[in-house]
Amino acid sequence: MKNILVLEDDESLNNGISFMLKREGYNVFSTFNIQQAKEFFYNNNINLIISDINLPDGDGLSFCEEIRKISDVFIIFLTALDEEVNIVNGYNIGGDDYITKPFSLIVLISKVNAFMKRINKEESKFKYIVSDEITFYLEELKIIKNNEELILTKNEYKLLKYMMENSQQILTKDQLLECIWECDGQFVYDNAVAVNIKRLRDKVEDDIKSPTYIKNVRGIGYTWAKGCVRK
């Protein structure tokens, strides 16, 4: 599931955009000021940012300029400023698209879907993910550790792929629960995350009592502690 960060201080507009995006199947982080947006961005794997420019604690251009220094995440600007200089500034700092208010939500969704297709196309080029001694072959759904294949269930494959794709990020129990839910589409019991994490740990860790790959983040969720490289 792709993650979208919405930064818009107009509550009604923010809710409308978020609702439409969720209907499209995206995971949405709704924020109303730059401080909130930074917290969500730096703690989650964001695929696309939809940002207003005039905000209560600064401007979206400066926020996205900061983000662009460390990430090539797609950025769509939303603003009532339709002067040419503002549009040019948006593109100059690394924005990918610029939509002036008022606008059609259908048009916005179409643009988002187009960017997501580009992301999926780029991701499909990767054949495997490597993390220390573990290699995940994406097409074959084959996991190799120290030259030995690990046999996983569907849920475990889904969890492992999701965690490795978001390595060194804190993943909440709700995020991981969605991952399991999508896997089978069946009723998910309350401790589904803990149970599946334990089973996955049993297979990937050398020492269950001192895990090096999957670590708990007390009160929040879990993280894949090792770095990952896609090839």
CATH of the domain at 26: 3.40.50.2300
Q: Average pLDDT of 53-81?
A: 89
Averaged over 13-25, what is the pLDDT? 94
CA distances (Å), origin 208, targets 117, 145, 187, 203, 205? 39, 16, 28, 9, 6
Same domain, 157 and 80: no
Closest CA to 193 of 163, 167, 168: 163
Q: Work out the percent of the chain whose per-residue pLDDT is above 90.
A: 48
Number of domains in the chain: 2
CATH of the domain at 175: 1.10.10.10
- What is the reported pLDDT for 185? 43
Residue 128's pLDDT band (cuts 50, 70, 90): confident
Q: How many CB atoms lie within 10 A of CB 213?
A: 22
Residues 39 and 115 in one domain: yes
Q: What is the pLDDT of residues 130-176, one digit of tens each?
A: 999 999 998 788 999 999 999 999 889 889 988 988 888 888 888 88
Residue 124: per-residue pLDDT: 63
Out of 3-7, 124-128, 149-153, 190-194, least confident range: 124-128
pLDDT at 189: 58
Cα–Cα distance, 181 to 193 (Å, whole number): 10
Question: Which of 30-39, 81-90, 167-176 is least confident?
Answer: 81-90
CB 99 within 8 A of CB 77: yes
* Structural domain harbouring 180: 128-230
Domain final residue pick, 78, 93, 123: 123
Q: Which residues are within 8 A (CB) of 200 and not within 5 positions of it... i.e. 6 or more apart?
A: 152, 156, 159, 160, 214
**Are residues 152 and 72 part of one domain?**
no
111 and 217 share one domain: no
Q: What is the mean pLDDT of the chain?
A: 87
Same domain, 60 and 169: no
Mean pLDDT, residues 74-79: 91
